[in-house]
C-alpha cells in the first residue's frame, strides 16, 4: 500500500454536471483506489437531469498527479515480470495491435497522414501505428514519459490537451483510449478535437461502459470507477449525448473496445476480495493469465455480451 495520505477536505472541489450543467444529483456509489490501495473514499453521483454519472466532489487538478505515480499501470513503468515477461509483453503488444486493427476500419493512413493520441501514456500505440502505417505521430499527456524508447518518433506535448496550440484541421486520426473518463472538462476537450480533425478525419474514443455487465456485477469494486482518477462514468446514452453537445457526428457505436474486458472481470473479482487493500501485480499476473485461459470460451463472445467497454467513432458534421 502507498504511503500517500488520504486527501483532506480542502483538496476537493464541488462541480456541476459536465453534460448539462445541473447541480441536482443523487449519490451513485462510493469508490476507493482499489488497484494500488491508496487511501481515500470518493463519491460518484448521478445527474438528475441528464443521467451523467460523475465524481462530486472531485479532487482538485493540482492534487490528482499523486495518483499517477510509478504504480499507475497504464504508464508501464514496471518491467520485471519474471518468467511471464514474454507473455506480458505479447499481451501489451496485442493491445496496441487491436487498436490499430480497429482504426484501420475507419481511416486509411499512410506517410502523408497525421495522427494524434490524447493521453498517450507510454506511447506504444503511436509507435505501433508509425511503424506499420507510416504517418507522423503526435501525443499529449500531462505526464512526461519521453525517456521511453517508444517516443523516438513522437512529437510530444506536455500538459492539458485543450491548451495545446495545434493547427486546425491538422489530424486525419485522433484517438482517446481511456482518456475521456479522466478529463476535467470533457466538452471542451471534444470541441478542441473536433476543430483539429481534417476534412475526412476520424475521432476514436474508448471508455469503460457504466451500463455494462461488469458494473452490475462488481458495483463499488468495479474497475471502471478507478477513483479518484476517473471524473466521469459514461453509459451509452450519456456518451452519445456528450458527443452531440460537443458538435460531433457519430459514425459508429461499438459495444466493446480494444482494451480486454477480461481485465475488468479479473480485477473486479480481486477488488471484491481485497476490499481496498491494493492488488499486488507481481503476484496477480500468474492467476491473471490462468483465468484468461479458463474463460476463453466466454471471452470469444465479448462483443455480444456488453462486458465492460464501449467505443465511438465520430467526425465533423457534414464531412465525408
**Axis crossing angle, helix 85-104 with helix 124-133, rounded to the nearest 10:** 60
Query: In degrees to the nearest 10, what's the CA dihedral of 80, 81, 82, 84?
Result: -150
Is residue 318 very low, low, confident or very high in pLDDT (cuts 50, 70, 90)? very high
Is residue 120 very low, low, confident or very high in pLDDT (cuts 50, 70, 90)? very high
Domain with 54, as residue range(s), is 9-74+97-103+166-315
Lowest mean pLDDT among 88-92, 192-196, 234-238: 88-92
Is residue 84 very low, low, confident or very high in pLDDT (cuts 50, 70, 90)? low
Burial class (CB in 10 A: 0-12, 13-18, 19+), 2: middle
Instruction: Read off the DSSP letter of residue 110.
Output: -
Cα→Cα distances 212→137, 209, 224, 302, 313, Å: 33, 6, 10, 12, 19
Task: Cell numbers for 242, please give them.
Answer: 456528450
- Residue 35: name the closest of 179, 214, 225, 176 by CA: 225
What residues pair up with 208 in beta bridges, in sequence order? 309
pLDDT in tens, 244-292: 999 999 999 999 999 999 999 999 999 999 998 998 888 888 888 888 8
- pLDDT value of position 296: 83
CATH number at residue 58: 3.40.50
Does the pLDDT at position 69 exceed 60?
A: yes
- pLDDT value of position 74: 56
In a domain, 64, yes or no: yes
Separation of alpha carbons 225 and 95, rounded Å: 21
Does the pLDDT at position 116 exceed 90?
A: yes
For the four alpha carbons of 33, 37, 38 and 41, in that order, the dihedral sign comes to: positive
- Residue 269: name the closest of 291, 286, 289 by CA: 291
Can you tell me the mean pLDDT for 46-73? 89
In a domain, 140, yes or no: no
Does the pLDDT at position 105 exceed 90?
A: yes
Tell me if 214 sits within 8 A of 265, measured CB to CB.
yes
- pLDDT value of position 72: 54
In a domain, 82, yes or no: no
Residues with Cβ within 8 Å of 250's Cβ and at least 6 positions away in sequence, in order, are 240, 243, 312, 313, 314
In a domain, 69, yes or no: yes
Task: Cell numbers for 117, please give them.
Answer: 493520441
Residues in the chain: 320
pLDDT in tens, 6-53: 899 999 999 999 999 999 999 999 999 999 899 999 999 999 999 999
Q: What percent of the chain has pLDDT over 90?
A: 78
Lowest mean pLDDT among 89-103, 111-125, 178-192: 89-103
Give backbone dihedrals phi and psi of 303, rounded to 5 degrees, phi first.
Answer: -70, -20
- Residue 314: name the closest of 145, 201, 199, 223 by CA: 201
Q: What is the mean pLDDT of the chain?
A: 92
CB atoms within 10 A of CB 253: 14
Does the pLDDT at position 235 exceed 50?
A: yes
**Bigger pLDDT: 5 or 233?**
233
In a domain, 320, yes or no: no
In a domain, 229, yes or no: yes
- pLDDT value of position 5: 85
Q: How many domains does the chain have?
A: 1
Is residue 1 very low, low, confident or very high in pLDDT (cuts 50, 70, 90)? very low
Separation of alpha carbons 77 and 299, rounded Å: 28
Amino acid at each position: 500500500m502507498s504511503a500517500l495520505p488520504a486527501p483532506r477536505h480542502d483538496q476537493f472541489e464541488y462541480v456541476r454536471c459536465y453534460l448539462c450543467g445541473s447541480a441536482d444529483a443523487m449519490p451513485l456509489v462510493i469508490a476507493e483506489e482499489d488497484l494500488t490501495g491508496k487511501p481515500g473514499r470518493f463519491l460518484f453521483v448521478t445527474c438528475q437531469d441528464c443521467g451523467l454519472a460523475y465524481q462530486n466532489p472531485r479532487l482538485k487538478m493540482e492534487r490528482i498527479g499523486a495518483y499517477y505515480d510509478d504504480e499507475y499501470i497504464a504508464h508501464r513503468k514496471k518491467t520485471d515480470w519474471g518468467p511471464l515477461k514474454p507473455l506480458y509483453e505479447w499481451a501489451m503488444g496485442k493491445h496496441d495491435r487491436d487498436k490499430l486493427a480497429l482504426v484501420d476500419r475507419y481511416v486509411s493512413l499512410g506517410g502523408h497522414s497525421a495522427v494524434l493520441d490524447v493521453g498517450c501514456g507510454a506511447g506504444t500505440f503511436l509507435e505501433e501505428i508509425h511503424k506499420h502505417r507510416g504517418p507522423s505521430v503526435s501525443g499529449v499527456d500531462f505526464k512526461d514519459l519521453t525517456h521511453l524508447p517508444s517516443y523516438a518518433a513522437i512529437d510530444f506535448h506536455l500538459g492539458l490537451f485543450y491548451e495545446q496550440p495545434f493547427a486546425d484541421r491538422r489530424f486525419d486520426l485522433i484517438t482517446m483510449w481511456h482518456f475521456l473518463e479522466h478529463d476535467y472538462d470533457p466538452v471542451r476537450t471534444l470541441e478542441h478535437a473536433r476543430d483539429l480533425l481534417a476534412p475526412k478525419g476520424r475521432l476514436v474514443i474508448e471508455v469503460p461502459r457504466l451500463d455494462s455487465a461488469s458494473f452490475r456485477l462488481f458495483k463499488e469494486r468495479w474497475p471502471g470507477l478507478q477513483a479518484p482518477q476517473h471524473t466521469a462514468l459514461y453509459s451509452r446514452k450519456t456518451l452519445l449525448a456528450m458527443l452531440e453537445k460537443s458538435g460531433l457526428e457519430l459514425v459508429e457505436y461499438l459495444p466493446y473496445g480494444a482494451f480486454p474486458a477480461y481485465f475488468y472481470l479479473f480485477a473486479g473479482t480481486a477488488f471484491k476480495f481485497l476490499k481496498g487493500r491494493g492488488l499486488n501485480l507481481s503476484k496477480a499476473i500468474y492467476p491473471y493469465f490462468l483465468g484468461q485461459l479458463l474463460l476463453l470460451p466466454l471471452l470469444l463472445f465479448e462483443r455480444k455480451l456488453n462486458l465492460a467497454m464501449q467505443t465511438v467513432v465520430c467526425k465533423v458534421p457534414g464531412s465525408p
